[in-house]
Every structure is written in structure tokens, then in C-alpha cells.
Amino acid sequence: MTTGITRRMRGRWIAGFVVVVALAAGAQQMHEPAPSRAPAAVPIDMYIHQAWQSLRRSMNECGSLVDPKVKTRPVLYLPVDLRQPAEVAALTRTCGVEVKRLPVKIDEIGQELPPLQPGLLYLPNPYIVPGGRFNEMYGWDSYFMILGLIQDGQTALARGIVENFFFEIEHYGGILNANRTYYLTRSQPPFLSSMIRAVWEAEVQAGDRKGADAWLDRAYGFAQRDHAFWMRPEMRAGDTGLQRYWDYGSGPVPEMGDDPTYYRTVIRWLVAHPAVRTGYLVDGPAHPARADWARIAAISCDPATSPICSREHVGTHWLTREFYKGDRADRESGFDTTFRFGPFGGSTEDYAAVGLNALLYKYEMDLAWMASQLGRADEAKSWQAQAEARRAAMDRYLWNAQKGMYFDYDFATGEQSSYNFLTTFYPLWAGAASVEQARRVEANLNLFEHDGGPAVSTTNSGEQWDLPYGWAPTTWLAADGMARCGDRPDALRVARAFTATVRASYQRSGTIVEKYNVVTGSQQFQVLAGYRQNVVGFGWTNAVYERLEQMLHGPALLKMPRPKGGPIRTPFVPRS
């Protein structure tokens, strides 16, 4: 948690940040990525259909082991109690990969383990990767890609991905950020219950209600275990009754190995902007020697356990231990990076986030629905009560009646944030917003809207999860959320703008990418620090484009009548 000094400074960084943000925006020079193929070589729908195969990975392919983020020899880890599968034995012969067993049984995320080499964690079923440097199965990415796979008629592959998450819960302690050893300390936004429902509904629609219900009975147990992770004491946002993001690790993250200047760039930015008072910097040795390691470990990071720690300083300036906790929690949120939780996400662990708690509200309502489907009425009532308690806490701490929006809550200072972020639409998608709250949020859509679609925030910080960038997952949840609440015109307008940007950019470059500049309606991308690529692929953009096109042109949710008193498709009585 943030120190007392940092807490006192928290209110000051916002004012200083407003002054420098325009300078950061002006310093950026955008460039359109060079096309990787002839523009519009195939129709966009065909590109997406073919991409599912090119993004598919499994344990019998050498390419699945490669990690562009960490330049070490590929290592594949098996659970300590799992018999070596035949395809893994073949990998050692055909790919030259080193196969190891985890040294102990892992019961929970963040469990203390002996040092491990960076490596891939075994999964039994094929899965889809986002693309580019992201060559593993990610948590929240997979939900959106599952929606795309189901629409593409690949329900079996979608179900196999969900089964992989069950395997992670059973053998790696929970749903991981992704299946690499350096992700064993954190998860990602909780979408498992939504994945389960999507697959169940697809199988029922295909005519296999009996098989779908039998699978749901098994899935319900894993969903409860995943939900329990978010209820652990470390995930509590103080005494608010809400949850926060938290990484059990410490120090700089290994996956930034392909951008070894990131943390030093952060330090230089903080030094260059003294008006932005964060408390993220601490004085340390300018020329660290081994004799300094104990002191460095006490104030910043531990050189004995982190191979990059000792170089992550600029002169005498080092990042605090608290900054690294926030940096890691920001990565669990999936929004790495943004200035929403302090510059470069350095205070993420001190916030009850709107998105996280809306997703957990939906999770609890989904668990109530599962229990009801399985004939467990008492359990259904218990889950619904938990969801209603969370909704009440969201209304108390996250809802701003004056502005008509949801904001994150800094429980360390007892203050609600004023940072406009597109997650304000998550409660609409989750069914947590009342009719009046939904109407008020929808009235603020203009804050985020641009010709190319909705930007993720209204602040141009220079980082990728801020203005001027728009992203597929947040666009889908905003559009689908408004659609569920009956706001068809706004949902359709957002869908039309974003799909037009994706399609026009595809016509120019022949590629679909991770995010878009929605101000210019293009793939233009450049950031102050962090991920410097606009990765081609791209799993969740492909999926969301197809779903938004269905919303615009196909038999979709929009054709359903709005129920009196609340959002569409809530599993129990809608809010009034």
C-alpha cells in the first residue's frame, strides 16, 4: 500500500499532471505502420477467418514455445504431478526445447516458489494468442476471442480454451495473466464466468442441452474457485467492500525484457516533471556495487532476485518498492499503461477500480445463474446477495451522481478519482447500473467519442491506454452495455465508427492491429514509454469487429425488447 508521504502527495500530482500533459501530447509524432502485405489482399472477413488458424497454438508446435519478450532458450514446464504427455516428449526431439517439472505443487497464485527460468507453462488444449510479442494464452483477451471463435463456428476450440483455464486453476493456482512462469504472481480481469456462459449458450443453441448442462455442473466449481481468488485479503480495497488489483511479486517485471529502457524512461519522465508529485522516486547509489544490494532491496528492488534491478536507475534516482507494486498491479488490470492510477499506473494497488468491481458483480450474478440452472436455489440466493452488496458499495464509492459517471476510488486517501475512463460503461454491460444511472452515463458518451470510435480516456498522457487510442475490448463492452440497456442509437453509432476505422485501416495496410488512433482513424501509434509496437494479428480486434458487424447487420441483441425497469439479460430481477 502507498506510504503516508505518497498519500499526501497523491492529491498534488493531478494538478501538476494537467500542466505537463499537453507538452507530452505535443511531443509525440505519429507514424502509420508500414503494411506487412499488399493492402486488402483478401476481404477483411476472410482475413479474420484465416487469422484464427495463424494465431492458434498448441503443445505439439515448436512456435508455441517462443517468447519474443525474453531472449532465452525455450523452456516448457509441466505440473509436478502430471504425467508427461506424448506430444511433449516429441517436442524435445523436434524443437530442442528443454522440458522441466515445476519443483512443487502450486495451490495458489503468489505461492512462494524457488527461482524459475522464464518458460511456458503446459496447457492440454489448443488456444489462441493475441499476436506479435504475445505468444501465450492470456486471461481477458481470451474472452473476446472466444466470442469471435463461437461466431466463426469454432465452439469446440472455444470450449478447449475455457478448459485450459480450468487446468490453470487446478495446476497453477488460478487463472494467470498468461501461461508463463513470470506470470505466476498475478491474474487478469475476471471473465471466466462470461466465457463459461458464452460456451454453454453456444452448445445449447447447437442442440446439445444435456451435454452443455453436464459441462456447466463441472464449470461451476472452477468458477467458484476463480471467484475466491478475488476475495483473498490482499485483493480487498480497504474496508469498502470492493476489490482491487494486486500482484504478489515485487520489483521490475521480466516481460519488459524486449524494452530494457522502460523503467529508466519512467524515471527520466518523473525527474523532468517535478510538479507531478508522486513519491515514486527515492535516492540510491549512482554506481551500485554488490555491497549496496541490501540497501537497494530495502528501498527499490532486489538485485539478488531480479537480473535487471541493478540497472534500473538514472544516476541516484531509483523507483520505490511501492511504485513497482503499482506497476505490477496495473499489468494485472490489463490497462498497462495509463495515467489513470497515477503516472504509469504507479498507484494501481490503492484503487477500487470500476471495471474490476463491475466484472465481479456480473461474476456473482453469473454464479447465481449457474446455481439456479443446476437446481441449487440456496446457493443462487447467496450469490445474488453478494452481488447486491457489491452493487451497493459501487453506488456508495464509485458512482458520482453530480457527474453522472462511475469513477475509481482511491481508498488510501479516501477520495474518488476524477479521471474519465471508458470503464464507466462496464456497469451497464454487467447489469449493475440502474435505468437512471445508465441514462446518465450514456449522456456522457460524447466525452469519449471521436470520428474513429470511442477513446479509452479523455486524457492524452502519452501512454497507450489513454487518449487518442481506442481498443476493441472497451469498445465492445461500452457498445454492448448500451445495447443491453436499450440505447440502440448510441450503441450502433459506436459500432459503426469503430468498425469503419478497422476496415479503412485494413484497406490501407492489409492488417488488423491491437489498438487504433480514433482521433485520426488510423493505426498511428507512438508512446512515451512501454509497449512501442502496434501489434498485428490481432485476436480481440478480430473478434470485436465481427461482433460489432453482427450488431449492425445481423440478428443481434438490439432486436430484443428492453425489459421494464432495467438492462437486458440480467439473470434475475432487473434493477429499478
- Look up residue 382 and give its amino acid: S
pLDDT tier at 562, thresholds 50, 70, 90:
very low
For 56-96, the pLDDT digits (tens) are 999 988 889 889 888 788 899 999 999 999 889 888 888 88
Count the helix, strand and coil residues of the chain and give each as a percent rounded to the nearest 5: 50, 10, 40
pLDDT class of 127 with cuts at 50, 70, 90: very high
Q: What is the pLDDT of residue 256?
A: 85
Residue at 518: amino acid letter: V
pLDDT band at 13 (very low <50, low <70, confident <90, very high): low
Please state, for a pLDDT cut of 90, what percent of the chain lies above it.
81
Are 199 and 214 a contacting pair, CB within 8 Å? no
- From 312, 487, 490, 514, active-site residue: 514
Place of cell 514446464: 77
pLDDT at 475 over 70: yes
Percent of the residues in the chain that have a pLDDT greater than 70, as a whole number: 89
Indicate if the pLDDT at residue 23 is higher than 60.
no
Whether pLDDT at 6 is above 60: no
Rounded to a whole number, what is the largest CA-CA distance in the chain? 70
Tally Cβ neighbours within 10 Å of residue 297: 18
Query: Is there a catalytic annotation at residue 336?
Result: yes
Average the pLDDT over 432-461 and give the result: 98
Q: Are 235 and 229 in contact (CB under 8 A)?
A: yes
pLDDT of residue 11: 54
Alpha carbon 485 to its chain centroid, in Å, reads: 24
User: So what's the pLDDT on residue 453?
Assistant: 98
Report residue 567's pLDDT band, with 50, 70 and 90 as the boundaries. very low
Distance CA(304)–CA(263), nearest Å, equals 18
The residue written with cell numbers 498511428 in the block is 524
**How far out from the chain centre does Cα 20 lie?**
27
Verify whether residue 549 is a known catalytic residue.
Answer: no
Q: What is the pLDDT of residue 17?
A: 53
What pLDDT band is residue 12 in, cutting at 50, 70 and 90?
very low
In this structure, the number of other CB atoms found within 10 A of the CB of residue 45 comes to 13
CATH number of 31-55+353-576: 1.50.10.10
User: What are the boundaries of each domain within the chain?
Assistant: 4-30+247-351, 31-55+353-576, 67-230
CA atoms within 13 A on the CB side of 494: 34
Q: How many angstroms separate the Cα of 303 from the Cα of each of 124, 261, 298?
A: 35, 17, 11
Record the pTM: 0.92
DSSP helix/strand/coil, 319: strand
pLDDT band of residue 360 (cuts 50, 70, 90) is: very high
- Catalytic one of 336, 490, 546, 549: 336
Write out pLDDT tens, residues 258-298: 788 999 999 999 999 999 999 999 999 999 999 999 999 99
Q: What pLDDT is recorded for position 10?
A: 56
Give the Cβ contact number of residue 325 at 10 Å: 23
- Helical spans, DSSP H, in 231-320: 262-272, 293-299
Q: How high does pLDDT run on average in the chain?
A: 90
